Chain A
């Protein structure tokens, strides 16, 4: 290996060692509904949260439902008035743009809006499946749903983070691919030169 290439190789190794896998960039939103209140936050993937940025809320058809802003901690809330998919869109203005969908199923059934083929509708047609359920009113169900949502929120946050995490395998694999391409380029150039 030539000295110049040795230097570059060393620098590459240096960068790999000092770029810890957790450090990356990208922006995401996380949100869950508890009752009709949707709360969440925007975050950058290595760390940090965008403060005082505008988040626009649309339904799944692209109609604007409203706007909200992140506070000093990067948190935001939005009160749903319709039971439909809520699409949260954050455009940071510098090329970062991200969206997150809170699906209609997460919102309480007491809200007006798109009637999903909900379990609640079934009993009126066929009273048999109501066993064990008849004691609950719609508000009770909303309360249970809110409690469950509250309990599983940390899990969902963790899953969301794991999905966007950058693993050492990815870094090493990518470098391997680049070295492979380099080898292939040598092969092709060598074949061309032999042909001459």
Chain B
């Protein structure tokens, strides 16, 4: 789902880079000393997750883990994913430097939305099954959203939206499932071992 280099037009590059810069600025303000190692580790996981290829005939797709990043980081997912994407572009040749802004927005904004809407559901607690399903959607929905955003970006340069969105959607159905299951297990594990990661806000108010 990385938009390769040389595909986007100049205006789109400028617009998406500006959006990404705004997100990164918000994210950096959001990073406390406590969040730094978490952001680094999630950036590293995002960076290598792109190598975890989901085998399916005729297409190529890989794990994103942007949902998990959003749950653990909130707005700080922007700088974390930017670093991951930059290194993927430089070292692996996935995506490109001119499409870095677009890819960052397409991956990180769904992550932030997940952090805003699903983190509270998980933090509210409940039965194991509820947590598992919340985790599943926290993994699967950002993949779907990232696909829709990518299709929208490509639509802006003249690709037919429905065809592109359809192709991305079909290629990512297995990824959504894989991602959902991986994230659900990760969420369950974190809830059992270190639940504070999901309700930081209350933790901070308790401390002060």
* The 10 residue pairs across chains A and B that have the minimum distance between CB atoms: A182-B40, A19-B51, A4-B194, A94-B167, A23-B53, A170-B91, A8-B41, A44-B60, A174-B87, A25-B60
Known contacts A12-B41, A24-B50, A166-B51; is A92 also within 8 Å of B167 by CB?
A: yes
Known contacts A92-B167, A164-B93, A189-B36; is A48 also within 8 Å of B48 by CB?
A: no
On whether the beta carbons of A93 and B163 are closer than 8 Å, the reply is yes
On whether the beta carbons of B189 and A23 are closer than 8 Å, the reply is no
Q: Decide if A151 is an interface residue (CB 8 Å cutoff).
A: no
Stretch at the interface among B1-9, B11-19, B108-116: B1-9
On whether the beta carbons of B83 and A181 are closer than 8 Å, the reply is yes
B52-74 residues at the A interface, CB under 8 angstroms: 52-53, 57-62, 72
Partner of A94 from the list B168, B193, B197 (CB cut-off 8 Å) is: B168
A118-144 residues at the B interface, CB under 8 angstroms: none
Which residues on the B side are within 8 Å of A16 (C-beta)?
A: 48
Q: In the complex, which range does the number of interface residues on chain A fall in?
A: 35 or more
On whether the beta carbons of A48 and B57 are closer than 8 Å, the reply is yes
DSSP class of B's interface residues: helix, strand, loop or mixed? helix
Which residues on the B side are within 8 Å of A182 (C-beta)?
A: 36-37, 39-40
Known contacts A48-B59, A94-B167; is A179 also within 8 Å of B40 by CB?
A: yes
On whether the beta carbons of B154 and A95 are closer than 8 Å, the reply is yes
On whether the beta carbons of A175 and B38 are closer than 8 Å, the reply is no
Please measure, in the bound complex, the distance between the C-alpha atom of A5 and the C-alpha atom of B37, giving whole angstroms.
7
Partner of A193 from the list B4, B33, B38, B60 (CB cut-off 8 Å) is: B33
Which residues on the A side are within 8 Å of B168 (C-beta)?
A: 94-95
Q: Give the size of the chain B interface in residues (CB under 8 angstroms).
A: 55
Known contacts A95-B164, A193-B33; is A175 also within 8 Å of B47 by CB?
A: yes
On whether the beta carbons of A25 and B154 are closer than 8 Å, the reply is no
Which residues on the B side are within 8 Å of A92 (C-beta)?
A: 167
Q: Decide if B31 is an interface residue (CB 8 Å cutoff).
A: yes
On whether the beta carbons of B51 and A24 are closer than 8 Å, the reply is yes
Minimum distance in angstroms from A15 CB to a CB of chain B = 5
Please measure, in the bound complex, the distance between the C-alpha atom of A175 and the C-alpha atom of B43, giving whole angstroms.
9
Which residues on the B side are within 8 Å of A15 (C-beta)?
A: 45, 48-49, 51-52
Known contacts A24-B50, A186-B36; is A48 also within 8 Å of B60 by CB?
A: yes
Which residues on the B side are within 8 Å of A196 (C-beta)?
A: none
Which residues on the A side are within 8 Å of B117 (C-beta)?
A: none
Partner of A4 from the list B32, B87, B190 (CB cut-off 8 Å) is: B190
Which residues on the B side are within 8 Å of A27 (C-beta)?
A: 60
